Amino acid sequence: MTTQSSVEIGTEWGIVSARQAGRELSKGLGFSSVDQARITTAISELARNIYLYTKNGVIGLEVVNDGHRQGIIITARDQGPGIENLRDVMVDGYSTSGGLGAGLPGVKRLMDEFDIQSNPGEGTLITTTKWLR
């Protein structure tokens, strides 16, 4: 597994460059235009959450190969406030910022695999994968 790129999310510009990196990587791997849009949108959601709810964090992009197929792994890592109740935030419509609250559950549906780890006071790590079909 090799890290292809990582983008710091400190301002809204970081969101745009993370998306750009995801778009290029997924296009290069041969993802369909619908899957490219899904991957880019997932990155946008995760990066925006870092921008909104933490001081800063990093979006990482990796190419994986499980022996049968290739895929792309997105990681969103921050040392922000963390999330108290992981079950709450995965419910559609749950938002502490007056948003649509569809970001995290949406990312889970856009991607194939989704994992979230968070410790209040320490930060959050989200890992999500899309496989090339």
Which residues here bind Mg ion, judged by CB under 5 A?
Answer: 49, 103
Amino acid at 120: P
Q: In Å, how far from its chain's centre is CA 65?
A: 19
Using rule CB under 6 A, residue 18 touches ligand ADP: no
Using rule CB under 8 A, residue 29 touches another protein: no
Identify how many contiguous H helices and E strands the chain contains and give both numbers: 4, 5
Q: How many residues bind ligand ADP (CB under 6 A)?
A: 20
Which residue from 28, 85, 96, 109 is in contact with another protein, where contact means CB under 8 A?
109
- SS3 state at 73: strand
Least separation, in Å, of the C-beta of 1 and ligand ADP? 23
How far apart are alpha carbons 50 and 16 in whole angstroms?
13
Residue 127, phi then psi, degrees to nearest 5 = -125, 125
Nearer to Mg ion, 80 or 103 (CB): 103
Using rule CB under 6 A, residue 104 touches ligand ADP: yes
Nearer to ligand ADP, 65 or 100 (CB): 100
Nearer to ligand ADP, 12 or 28 (CB): 12
Nearer to ligand ADP, 14 or 80 (CB): 80
Bridge-based pairing state of the strands 123-131 and 113-119: antiparallel
